């Protein structure tokens, strides 16, 4: 640990729509397939962020 510093854990966030769009275009997905992929990824991101927040809360308590 640096002198006088602290170690800060990163905080997860959602995958940006622009990244999903680029991935979908590269893999030849249709617009509707990309929209479905985006919704699924967003749902999974929300579950993970909640899980991460609960774990972090346990560490603090």
pLDDT tens for 18-54 read 999 999 999 999 999 999 999 999 999 999 999 999 9
**Distance from C-alpha of 36 to C-alpha of 33, rounded to nearest angstrom:** 5
Question: Coil, helix or strand for 13?
Answer: coil
Q: What pLDDT is attached to residue 60?
A: 79
Are 16 and 38 within 8 A, CB to CB? no
Q: What pLDDT is attached to residue 16?
A: 93
**Distance from C-alpha of 54 to C-alpha of 48, rounded to nearest angstrom:** 10
Angle formed by the axes of helices 17-26 and 31-60, nearest 10°: 140
Q: How confident is the model at residue 5 (pLDDT cuts 50, 70, 90)?
A: low
Tokens of 54: 């609960």
């Amino acid at each position: 640990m640096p002198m006088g510093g602290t170690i800060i854990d990163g905080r997860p966030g959602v995958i940006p729509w622009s990244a999903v769009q680029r991935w979908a275009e590269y893999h030849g997905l249709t617009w509707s397939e990309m929209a479905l992929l985006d919704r699924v990824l967003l749902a999974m991101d929300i579950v993970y962020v909640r899980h991460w927040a609960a774990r972090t809360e346990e560490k603090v308590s």
